Homo-oligomer: A and B are copies of this chain.
Amino acid sequence: MKSKSNHTKSFMIYEELVEKIQNGTYQPNTKLPTEHEFMQQYEVARGTIREALQMLYQNGYIQKIQGKGSVVLDIRRKYNFPITELVSFKQIAKAMGGTSRTILQELSLIKPDAFIQTELNVSTAAEIWKVVRTREIDGEKIILDVDYFNKQYITFLTKEICEDSIYEYIENELQLSIGFAKKEILVEEPTEMDRTYLDLEGFPNVVVVKNHVYLEDITLFQYTESRHRPDKFRFVDFARRFANYSYPNM
């Protein structure tokens, strides 16, 4: 999972601590070194350490307890699944282990119909890339991804890019920074497309994840529907009660 360059001290410390939590250097339910110890270890100001710890906190790696210290959580380890982050299928497949394959069913430039005009907020004149891909895991076609990209921002696409990772291409080749996405999870009846491209095995509905994806400058460039066979669908989320807004500092 790489993206734009982030060579700040706090981010590098964060990455190092994530690594040490994942490889067991810091064990679940034990305390991390104190902020003061980290200060000396990394020779940075306390605020810098607190930023790194805040990222760990925000992403569910640790719990910070005032007066006590930071405790390593094992939630990530227990559910080794991408938790509420924007990740591509390639990353998920890699994390899950099993054999996976992407089959490109369609790659075309289209004029947006009324639905796509609304979802991508474009006029009839716009040009849109339509990408249809089947995701096969352990020999079963269980996910159908239908993507629509605004050609104004994603100017060029090829079969090879779609079969690898479009996100990697967007961030590394096109040098665009993906900012955020709004996800919506629903259950729908299978469409004709679902029936042809998925191994539905008689399941009477599909779980649909609808995604609007924005760049960092707030331009909406992608609308995606990820259509899952219900028995294979799983979504894991980590939520804090108040995103306990204790922020680093100063």
Contact = CB atoms under 8 A, between A and B. Distances in A.
Interface of A: 3-4, 6, 8, 10-11, 14, 29, 45, 47, 51, 54-55, 58-60, 63, 65, 71, 73, 75, 79, 84-86, 177-187, 204-205, 207, 216-218, 230-231, 233-245, 247-250
Nearest to A72: B218
Contacts of A230: 187, 205
A51 B247 CA distance: 6
Contacts of A60: 180, 182
8 contacts: A58-B243, A65-B216, A179-B240, A181-B239, A183-B237, A237-B237, A247-B248, A248-B250
A6 B246 CA distance: 10
Contacts of A187: 187, 207, 230-231, 233
Contact of A239 (B180, B216, B218): B180
B182 A79 contact: yes
Contacts of A51: 245, 247
Contacts of A204: 204-205
A234 B182 CA distance: 13
Contacts of A59: 243
A45 B6 CA distance: 26
Contacts of A75: 182
Number of copies: 2
Contacts of A84: 84, 237, 239
A61 to B, nearest CB: 11
Contacts of A47: 249-250
Given A216-B65, A249-B47, A239 B85 contact: yes
Contact of A185 (B234, B241, B249): B234
B180 A235 contact: no
A248 to B, nearest CB: 5
Given A79-B184, A180-B63, A218-B63, A55 B240 contact: no
Nearest to A213: B241
Contact of A183 (B10, B205, B236, B248): B236
A149 B133 CA distance: 43
A75 B214 CA distance: 11
A166 B180 CA distance: 33
Contact of A179 (B85, B184, B241): B241
A177 B63 CA distance: 13
A11 B243 CA distance: 11
